[in-house]
Structure 1
Amino acid sequence: MNTLISLHNSIFSRIERADWLAPTLARFTFAAVLLFYFWNSGVTKLGDGIMGIFAPSVGGYAQIFPKALEAVTYDTSQLSIFHWAVVTAGTWAEFILPALIVVGLLSRVAALGMIGFIVVQSLTDLYGHGGIEHPETLGAWFDNISNAAILDQRAFWVFTLLVIVIKGAGPLSLDRLLAPRQKSEM
């Protein structure tokens, strides 16, 4: 029995000391699961042509401000500069923040930005798109159903991003490459 305990302690103490493992796997998981989700969502918000990055599509407004857009009968010219700025910034965030996380540049700030984005996205899904009227969309923790879009899925998303906020991007990142070298004391 002592041999088994020693083997267990030996293996898991090495894993516990592997500070690179959690942030590297968190970035990999983000890239594998969420990178194209956010990029594809951003593409749907782009307007026509190269200048579409400054002139969001009607779909972009519909995703972020569904009730306001409906109130002006889907005429985006009747919305304010505030609406344009939010939709444009949200569109850019869907491209820039995931890219920063994947390459590991300013990763802690980008992960915090993504957490904020997910909170706003979730509130928009609940209140703007009527998800609050459908309890299965919100879901509930500590139940036997694990696929609710808001509380279940997005808890995992935020946890993955919190690993990056807390631990950084890991050794395979531009953050590490650009960081000043630590001089070892003798």
Structure 2
Amino acid sequence: MARPRSEDKRNAILEAATEVVAEQGVSAPTARIAKRAGVAEGSLFTYFENKDALLNQLYLELKRDLRHAMLDGFPAAERIKVQTRHVWDGYVDWGVANPHKRKAMSQLGVSDRVSAQTKEAGQAAFAQVSTLMQKSLAGGVLKDQPPSFAGAIMSSLAETTMEFILREPAMADRYKSAGFDAFWAAIAEH
């Protein structure tokens, strides 16, 4: 009879995979992930059919975590600039607080081991953010560009902001505001 699966073990495997992928990339051996999680390598495959299944699930988990950080407490009744700032702050705060998750998600996002379907599902979870981008772009200088382009600009500016905050934590509020102002100036009507 098969042993029942433990949610704690599954979560430990995903946490270990986050750290190992952040440190060594998607080619890191599953044995290292299992060791970091404190489970036998065979146990890893009780929870995930193979390494690709683990990486795809990890990608979705990281995207879900980021989505919650960006949208929890979303100020739906506020002006679009306030809403966009809320999403920005959530993204930057998540990235600063979770450097391993940020780096792992970045590596998984460009990996061919994460399927197109999984990447699509990860993006679908951000439909509300995408809609917000479309509204923000409606009258701005990037209005004729796809929302994914504005999203890429947001990601680039947010990454730069996160790096500066990590280097100079005492300047976090200043950098977060300056980064947002630069983003808003790039997308909003002037």
Question: What TM-score do you get using the length of structure 2 for normalisation?
Answer: 0.27
Larger radius of gyration: 1
Higher relative contact order (CA 8 A, sep 6+): 1
Question: What TM-score do you get using the length of structure 1 for normalisation?
Answer: 0.27
